[in-house]
């Protein structure tokens, strides 16, 4: 297979990520009996499929020469948690808006979970229906493994958290996870998060402005990092901070 274009390679690698299941059949088999060939390791620059067989060996399959089918692995959900805060503004006794406001943490926001979650969902744009925030990601190494990512909110351990729900194919390497956290940090601080905090949520007695990101005391962590470690461990491990 000669002269494979970059566009075709990108298409193949996006459609058939590492970990895909490969089945083969013989052209002269009238029953088209499928046999398990193994698991896709990578597609090389010539467009050939390198497959790890169950016995540990490797075979190389070429489109148009061998008869085979590719079954991409199912995606799994990865949740990344971040502290959620908000500024609350009430009207004073003269009916004017209080300019100073109050800062509310996730414990206070727990009572407003439905309002905040509904607000986040309504602010998603149609273009993001399939891939969410990953539509705007220019990191090619994430494009293959992270199918989608959306911001939402979740009650956990007595407070309301901001959550990035990601659909991931295969296992992210430490470098890939760090890259995903870095990208979503930017979205929380300067992208979607910035847009959200400029819009008011009407609540009893005033208005809320939700902050997905804060300059201090903020991190984005996996579920295990956020809730599976002791406090002492959490101070030295996991998460990505900004500011």
Residue-wise pLDDT tens digits, 33-43: 678 889 999 99
48 domain-assigned: yes
Q: Give the whole-angstrom CA distance, residue 196 versus residue 142.
A: 25
Together in a domain, 22 and 108: no
State the pTM of this model. Answer: 0.73
Q: Is residue 89 assigned to a domain?
A: yes
Model confidence at 93: pLDDT above 50: yes
**Number of domains composing the chain:** 2
Residue 138 domain-assigned?
A: yes
Same domain, 190 and 82: yes
In this structure, the answer to whether residues 90 and 181 fall within a common structural domain is yes
Q: List the domain range (segments joined by +) for residue 44.
A: 4-69
User: Is position 147 within any domain?
Assistant: yes
**Do 49 and 85 share a domain, yes or no?**
no
- Condensed to tens digits (0 to 9), the pLDDT of residues 112-123 reads 999 999 999 999
- For 194-231, what is each residue's pLDDT tens digit? 999 999 999 988 999 999 999 999 999 999 999 985 44
Do 47 and 85 sit in the same domain of this protein? no
How many Cβ atoms from other residues are within 10 Å of residue 210's Cβ? 24
Is 184 in the same domain as 129? yes
| Residue 219 contacts residue 191 (beta carbons within 8 Å) | no
> Token pair for residue 116?
């905040």
Most confident of 1-10, 200-209, 232-241: 200-209
Q: Is 188 exposed, middle or buried (0-12, 13-18, 19+ CB in 10 A)?
A: buried
164 and 62 within one domain: no
Residue whose C-alpha is closest to residue 78's, from 134, 10, 139: 134
């Amino acid at each position: 297979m000669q002269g494979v274009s970059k566009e075709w390679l990108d298409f193949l690698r996006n459609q058939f990520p590492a970990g895909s299941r490969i089945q083969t059949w013989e052209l002269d088999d009238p029953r088209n009996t499928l046999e398990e060939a193994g698991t896709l390791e990578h597609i090389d620059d010539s467009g050939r499929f390198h497959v790890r067989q169950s016995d540990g060996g490797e075979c190389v399959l070429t489109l148009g020469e061998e008869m085979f089918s590719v079954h991409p692995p199912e995606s799994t959900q990865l949740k990344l948690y971040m502290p959620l805060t908000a500024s609350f503004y009430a009207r004073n006794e003269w009916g004017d808006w209080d300019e100073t406001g109050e800062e509310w943490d996730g414990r206070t926001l727990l009572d407003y979970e439905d309002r905040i979650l509904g607000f986040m969902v309504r602010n998603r744009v149609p273009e993001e229906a399939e891939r969410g925030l990953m539509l705007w990601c220019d990191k090619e190494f994430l494009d293959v493994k992270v199918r989608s990512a959306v911001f939402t909110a979740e009650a956990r351990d007595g407070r309301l958290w901001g959550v990035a729900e990601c659909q991931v194919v295969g296992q992210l390497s430490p470098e890939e996870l760090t890259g995903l956290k870095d990208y979503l940090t930017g979205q929380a601080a300067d992208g979607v998060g910035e847009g959200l905090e400029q819009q008011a949520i009407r609540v009893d007695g005033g208005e809320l402005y939700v902050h997905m990101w804060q300059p201090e005391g903020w991190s984005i962590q996996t579920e295990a990092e956020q809730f599976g470690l002791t406090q002492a461990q959490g101070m030295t491990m996991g998460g990505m901070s900004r500011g």
